[in-house]
């Protein structure tokens, strides 16, 4: 990277099917000048999230990413010039920096962070992934000690933390992940009670064996067939935390929604509830304090998957959507 | 009806597709003798409910109705002989009497009712229909004054009461029903703000016109396509009360579940919650007191659809599933 050039990765074309590197294009331009109220950011780490792909499909909780604009994405960045009284040079912030070396962003859209070591933890366990796991599980899932919790995308950034928090809360935890290696890692390293490989083709049966008394809380990161397999195994009054639907993001939308709905919701008196982590930001400090104490006591292990080079961001996202990451994936810019 | 013969309608065969009269058979037998702890009931009114059809498909919140057994169903009945200290001859009770003239039933499975005039109100507004509407709307839907409430099967036993309670609570109410006559009745007689005919083929559009600012609470009696049309029109943080899925009961199960799930639950932070009215029975007295006061003040209109003759019960259910009733359908035995 030159100190005078700003490399930017654009979404060159909105994907209609599977995302490929050809949907992106790198351009080079001048480093922007911050306007009044803005700061100039040097982006340090770009967060890769399944939701990035959903943003290309249309408006969600944010407007859609349009073709020929800088690809949107959360980033951890350092303030290198400021025209805002609230932020100083050297401050570390989180915000939607986009996929680029530098960004000029209104200070009001940024969150100033307390520095920790390693800094990357601000994007993983103390960032959106950790907070999503924390608030989604505890506020929406409301697990009680002894409950059976099932989490999908369990080896991912959110799932790996959901399962560990559930263990801290005294639950029995079953993870659903793709492949034997991830499953082994969940049980041997992260302390999950069981892990189920959805790629083995008999998910309903293996899940039944892993949670023979049924599921109290299903933390759903994926939707689709895995949600469909969990639904009939929910206990009466069970709770489904709708966190994401990664199975539906990359490619054509599923021709069918989860079969058995809403009938199973009625007869089992289930609650399915969605949430967006930003709704809980007023209580961020409490969550970070809990997460910090669990990490420092060794009860919560942080897994990060760091890829070097802005130019590798498209492939990093494509790989994430294919499930190749373990823990929080990010790009070091 | 002879005073010594007990006519019974059996489920002759479990339907695999649409329910027809051929799935039932009437038999005649002796009036049963109550055993210790039981009472002999003379059935007065049989309740017809969409759930009757669901019971034939398999276990739900109750065990399935099997072929060659008396068709199950709620009934309003008079105690004519007693071997239970808790019930006296002449008491009026509600319970699963089945489709027959007489039934010997354990007293512990029956609810003794305070008599009202007309007695049929015990099966409609003060019965399962009214209580389902009351608890489902108020406890699960949690409407606030000014909210927009949409209810499907709005001219049915539950829906017609849901909409009126929502009006009493200061909400704007849109009913979804089949056919112009029902829709006109909802707005002209029951005070709904708008009614939408799902048979017109443009439900999404007409619903959008009737609830242009979106839906706060959708009380879903039907599932299927109508649920699918409501989902994208929910406001953020909206609540979907999953009361039933009548569109899915009669015939082959839908090849697809509601498309857009769980993605729309996530991005709109929706709650979808199921319930069964029996879970709320400890608070029945409070509900009946409220319903009584609304009926006696004229704020809640009670619509009943009473068909004469036990022999007509199969056709009464088939017609209910086709949506031919307005308000609570029952058979006078």
pLDDT tens for B206-240 read 999 999 999 999 999 999 999 999 999 999 999 99
Compute the nearest-CA separation of A220 from chain B (Å). Answer: 9
- Using the beta-carbon criterion (under 8 Å), do A257 and B261 form an inter-chain contact? yes
Q: What is the separation, in whole angstroms, between the first and last Cα of chain B?
A: 9
Give the number of other Cβ atoms within 10 Å of residue A84's Cβ: 18
Q: Is A57 on the interface with B (CB under 8 A)?
A: no
- Using the beta-carbon criterion (under 8 Å), do A274 and B259 form an inter-chain contact? no
For an interface test with B, give the residue of A238, A263, A271 to mutate (most B CBs within 10 A): A263
- Using the beta-carbon criterion (under 8 Å), do A279 and B269 form an inter-chain contact? yes
Q: Please, what is the angle between helix B128-135 and helix B157-168, to 10°?
A: 40
Which residues on chain A are in Cβ contact (under 8 Å) with B259?
253-257
Compute the nearest-CA separation of B135 from chain A (Å). Answer: 13
- Using the beta-carbon criterion (under 8 Å), do A261 and B256 form an inter-chain contact? no
CA B232 to chain centre: 26
Q: Is B142 on the interface with A (CB under 8 A)?
A: no
Q: Is B227 on the interface with A (CB under 8 A)?
A: yes
Q: What is the pLDDT of residue B240?
A: 98
Which regions of chain B are under pLDDT 70?
Answer: 1-3, 253
- Using the beta-carbon criterion (under 8 Å), do B275 and A269 form an inter-chain contact? yes
Q: Is B258 on the interface with A (CB under 8 A)?
A: yes
Burial class (CB in 10 A: 0-12, 13-18, 19+), A8: buried
Q: What is the pLDDT of residue A127?
A: 96
- For chain B, what percent of residues have pLDDT higher than 90? 91
Burial class (CB in 10 A: 0-12, 13-18, 19+), B324: middle
Residue in chain A lying closest to B58 (CA)? A267
Q: Is A64 on the interface with B (CB under 8 A)?
A: no
Q: Is A232 on the interface with B (CB under 8 A)?
A: no
| Segment holding B149, helix H or strand E | strand B148-152
- Using the beta-carbon criterion (under 8 Å), do B259 and A259 form an inter-chain contact? no
Q: Is A242 on the interface with B (CB under 8 A)?
A: yes
**Three-state SS sequence of chain A:** CCCCEEEEEEECCCCCCCCCHHHEEEEEEECCCCCCCEEEEEEEEEECCHHHHHHCCCCCCCCCCCCCEECCCEEEEEEEEECCCCCCCCCEEEEECCCECEEEEEHHHCEECCCCCCHHHHCCCCCHHHHHHHHHHHHHHCCCCCCEEEECCCCEHHHHHHHHHHHHCCCEEEEEECCHHHHHHHHHCCCCCEEEEHHHCCHHHHHHHHCCCCEEEEEECCCHHHHHHHHHHEEEEEEEEECCCHHHCCCCCCCCECCCCCHHHHHCCCEEEECCHHHHHHHHHHHHHHHHHHHHCCCCCCCEEEEECHHHHHHHHHHHHCCCCCEEEEEEC
For an interface test with B, give the residue of A235, A243, A274 to mutate (most B CBs within 10 A): A274
Tokens of A239: 């709770």
Domain assignments of chain A as residue spans, ordered by start: 5-124+303-332, 128-278
Residue in chain A lying closest to B236 (CA)? A61
Segments in chain B forming alpha helices (H)? 50-55, 128-135, 157-168, 180-188, 203-210, 224-230, 263-267, 284-296, 313-321
Which candidate from A242, A244, A260 shows the least CB-CB separation from B257? A260
Which residues on chain A are in Cβ contact (under 8 Å) with B62?
none
Task: State the maximum Cα–Cα separation within chain A, in Å, rounded to a whole number.
Answer: 63
pLDDT, one tens digit per residue, over A12-28 is: 999 989 999 999 999 99
Q: In angstroms, rounded to a whole number, what is the distance separating the alpha carbons of residues A215 and A172?
A: 10
- Using the beta-carbon criterion (under 8 Å), do B260 and A265 form an inter-chain contact? no
Q: What is the separation, in whole angstroms, between the first and last Cα of chain A?
A: 9
Q: In angstroms, rounded to a whole number, what is the distance separating the alpha carbons of residues B251 and B57?
A: 10
Q: In angstroms, rounded to a whole number, what is the distance separating the alpha carbons of residues A90 and A39?
A: 11
Is residue B156 helix, strand or coil? strand
- Using the beta-carbon criterion (under 8 Å), do B271 and A268 form an inter-chain contact? no
Q: What is the pLDDT of residue A2?
A: 56
Q: Do domains B5-122+303-332 and B128-278 have the same CATH topology?
A: no
Which candidate from B228, B242, B263 shows the least CB-CB separation from A265? B242
- Using the beta-carbon criterion (under 8 Å), do B243 and A257 form an inter-chain contact? no
Q: In angstroms, rounded to a whole number, what is the distance separating the alpha carbons of residues B214 and B268?
A: 12
**CATH for B5-122+303-332?**
3.90.180.10
Match 């599932």 to its residue by tokens: B223
Compute the nearest-CA separation of B270 from chain A (Å). Answer: 5
Which regions of chain A are under pLDDT 50?
Answer: none
Q: Is A60 on the interface with B (CB under 8 A)?
A: yes
Compute the nearest-CA separation of A304 from chain B (Å). Answer: 25
| Assigned fold of A128-278 | Rossmann fold (3.40.50)
**CATH for A5-124+303-332?**
3.90.180.10
* ipTM for the complex shown: 0.93
């Amino acid at each position: 990277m030159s100190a005078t050039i700003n490399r930017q990765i654009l979404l060159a074309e909105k994907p209609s099917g599977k995302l490929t590197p050809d949907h992106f294009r790198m351009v080079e331009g001048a480093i922007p000048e911050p306007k009044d109220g803005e700061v100039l950011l040097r982006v340090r780490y770009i967060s890769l999230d399944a939701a990035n792909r959903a943003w290309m499909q249309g408006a969600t909780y944010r407007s859609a990413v349009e073709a020929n604009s800088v690809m949107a994405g959360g980033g951890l960045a350092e303030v290198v010039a400021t025209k805002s009284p609230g932020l100083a040079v050297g401050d570390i912030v989180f915000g939607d920096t986009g996929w680029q070396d530098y960004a000029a962003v209104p200070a009001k859209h940024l969150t100033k962070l307390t520095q920790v070591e390693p800094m990357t933890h601000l994007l993983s366990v103390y960032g959106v992934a950790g907070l999503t796991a924390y608030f989604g599980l505890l506020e929406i899932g409301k697990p009680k000690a002894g409950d059976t919790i099932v989490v999908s995308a369990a080896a991912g950034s959110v799932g790996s933390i959901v399962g560990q928090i559930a263990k801290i809360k005294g639950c029995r935890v079953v993870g659903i992940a793709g492949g034997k290696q991830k499953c082994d890692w969940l049980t041997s390293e992260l302390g999950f009670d069981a892990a189920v490989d959805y790629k083995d083709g008999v998910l309903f049966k293996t899940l039944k064996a892993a949670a023979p008394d049924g599921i109290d809380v299903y933390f759903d990161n994926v939707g689709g067939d895995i949600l469909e397999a969990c639904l009939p195994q929910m206990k009466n009054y069970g709770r489904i935390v709708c966190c994401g639907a990664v199975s539906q993001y990359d490619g054509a939308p599923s021709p069918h929604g989860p079969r058995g709905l809403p009938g199973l919701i009625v007869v089992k008196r289930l609650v399915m509830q969605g949430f967006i982590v930003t709704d809980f930001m007023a209580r961020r400090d409490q969550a970070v304090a809990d997460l910090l104490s669990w990490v420092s006591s060794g009860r919560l292990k942080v897994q990060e998957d760091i890829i070097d080079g802005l130019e590798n961001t498209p492939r990093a996202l494509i790989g994430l959507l294919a499930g190749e990451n373990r823990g929080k994936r990010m790009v070091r810019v």
